[in-house]
Structure 1
Amino acid sequence: MIGIFPLAAIDEVRPGDDLPALLTAALAAAGLVPAEGDVLVVTSKIVSKAEGRFVDLASVTPGEQARELAAVTRKDPRLVELVLAESQNVVRAVPHVLITRHRSGHVMANAGIDRSNLGGGDGEQALLLPLDADASAAALHVALAQRHAVPPAIVISDSFGRPWRYGVVNVAIGVAGLPALIDRRGELDRDGRLLEVTQVAMGDMIATAAGLATGEGAEGVPAALVRGVALPEEHRPAADLVRPLAEDLFR
């Protein structure tokens, strides 16, 4: 039986906060003791907040490319400048939509830069994704191992849109302690047929499951514990989920 347990007892996270301590306290408040096979899904937003990934838009001077893209997308030129700084390249720019390939390789809207639920302020702040989400996940995993006899695996999640479908789902942008991608090619199905292309995006599946508890708006639930998933003893980072450019058929 798979269970999803929201961790709501986390106040507004500020730069420099001890995130492992906050998560440990939230687990205790929910009456949860990490067990074998547990996965702690943490939204990228609170990781970025703790890491101080805030930028004051008043400090940003847009360049020529940012101004041109802002005219096309009808977005704040300062935000577009930040998006360009966080991206390898622009994938698509149309009114109200700016899709880029983030420097991590993930393709997403606005390079994952967020301006919602930032904890007050004058509305002139933006929040960047963690500098290295896999490294952030690994650090959380190590820190929680010092606090729990059986530390949970870690997934850092973010909300992505999907080509050809409306709506967003949560995906894994940082993973530690579990395989983000499970390669089942070479196995046999129930009829003895060889699996030739099957790879399972385990990190994304767990992130999406946790999204049922964390929500996308004013829910105020920045983390969830997923329990009961059968995980192989393998470790693969979220970077392994990124399809190489040579295999991108839609460029």
Structure 2
Amino acid sequence: MITIEQLSNFQKITSKCDISQIIVDTIKNEKFSIKDGDILCIASKLLSKAEGNFINLNTIIPSNLAKNIHKKLPRKDPRLIQVIIDQTQDPTGKKLRIENNFIGAFLPNGLFLTSGGVDKYKDDIVLSLPHNCDKIARNIGVRIQQQLGAKVAIIITDSDGRIDKVGATQVAVGLYGINGLRRTTFRKKNNVETICDMLAAASGLIMGQRGSGFPLVKISGYKYEFNAETKLIDAIN
């Protein structure tokens, strides 16, 4: 049986900090039970704040490209559009996808995310995605094993929308300890499932959106082979 449970009473993160240690300390203080084989899904926004990825839009000067896109998407601040362009590391805008009210971006690591993974924080402050989610996931997983004695997988999740649907779900943007893909055989045909996204979406049932839920969720009961060398890139097309 698969169960999903949140880590409650997680402190509010507002500035750069050692998030791995804070997670370990909170697990201890809350007497949150974790064991070998559990999977911890952690919201990327929590890690962005811990990494200090705050961007003040008042410091951003939008390019002509950002201004032109703003004409197509007037609900998006041209300064925010410029931040999204910057995340792609391609000033030509070729890594963007714009349709109706949607703007998405391909990031240098191959991920495609709504708004390039940029989230509004408050007023004129936005947050960019953590710089290396796989590395952060590994750091957290290793710290937990060292201090709590549990070998767990880590999935860093981010909210992501779709062009064809209203709202958002959770997808994986970083991995440690679990393969992002699950290969199955049905009627003698090989199939591939993006299990990291399935698990991330499952955590979203409790995690919620925009701080409405819990930033760390545990999934227990899913059987997988622990592999400390897994990376998200292995699941990217």
| Contact persistence 2:181–2:193 (CA under 8 A) | yes
Structure 1 CA distance for aligned equivalents of residues 7 and 222 of structure 2: 18
1:5-41: CA deviations, max 9, x gaps?
1112112113322212221233234432321210111
Gaps in structure 2 of 5+ consecutive residues? none
- Whether 1:155 aligns to 2:155 is yes
After superposition, residues 21-40 of structure 1 pair within 5 angstroms as 21-40=21-40
Using the TM superposition, give the Cα deviation of residue 95 of structure 1 relative to its aligned residue in structure 2, in angstroms. Answer: 4.8
TM-score of the aligned structures, taking structure 2 as reference length: 0.89
Using the TM superposition, give the Cα deviation of residue 82 of structure 1 relative to its aligned residue in structure 2, in angstroms. Answer: 0.6
| Contact persistence 2:180–2:234 (CA under 8 A) | yes
Greater displacement, 66-75 / 40-49: 66-75
Tell me the equivalent position of 2:47.
Answer: 47
Select 2:110's aligned residue among 61, 83, 105: 105
Structure 2 CA distance for aligned equivalents of residues 23 and 71 of structure 1: 43
After superposition, residues 1-251 of structure 1 pair within 5 angstroms as 1-74=1-74, 75-87=76-88, 88=90, 89-115=94-120, 118=121, 123-184=123-184, 187=185, 189=186, 193-196=187-190, 198-234=191-227, 235-243=229-237
Structure 2 CA distance for aligned equivalents of residues 99 and 56 of structure 1: 21
| Contact persistence 1:158–1:170 (CA under 8 A) | yes
Using the TM superposition, give the Cα deviation of residue 161 of structure 1 relative to its aligned residue in structure 2, in angstroms. Answer: 1.9
Gaps in structure 1 of 5+ consecutive residues? 244-251
| Contact persistence 1:134–1:239 (CA under 8 A) | no
Aligned length: 231
1:77 partner amino acid: P
**Pair 76,163 (structure 1): closer, same or farther in 2 beyond 3 Å:** closer
**Pair 97,204 (structure 1): closer, same or farther in 2 beyond 3 Å:** same
1:225 partner amino acid: K
Structure 1 CA distance for aligned equivalents of residues 57 and 86 of structure 2: 13
Using the TM superposition, give the Cα deviation of residue 175 of structure 1 relative to its aligned residue in structure 2, in angstroms. Answer: 0.3
1:169-207: CA deviations, max 9, x gaps?
1111000011111233xx4x4xxx3223x1121211111
TM-score of the aligned structures, taking structure 1 as reference length: 0.85
| Contact persistence 2:66–2:79 (CA under 8 A) | yes
Tell me the equivalent position of 1:249.
Answer: none
Using the TM superposition, give the Cα deviation of residue 153 of structure 1 relative to its aligned residue in structure 2, in angstroms. Answer: 1.1
Greater displacement, 165-174 / 33-42: 165-174
1:213-243: CA deviations, max 9, x gaps?
1111452411111111101234531222221
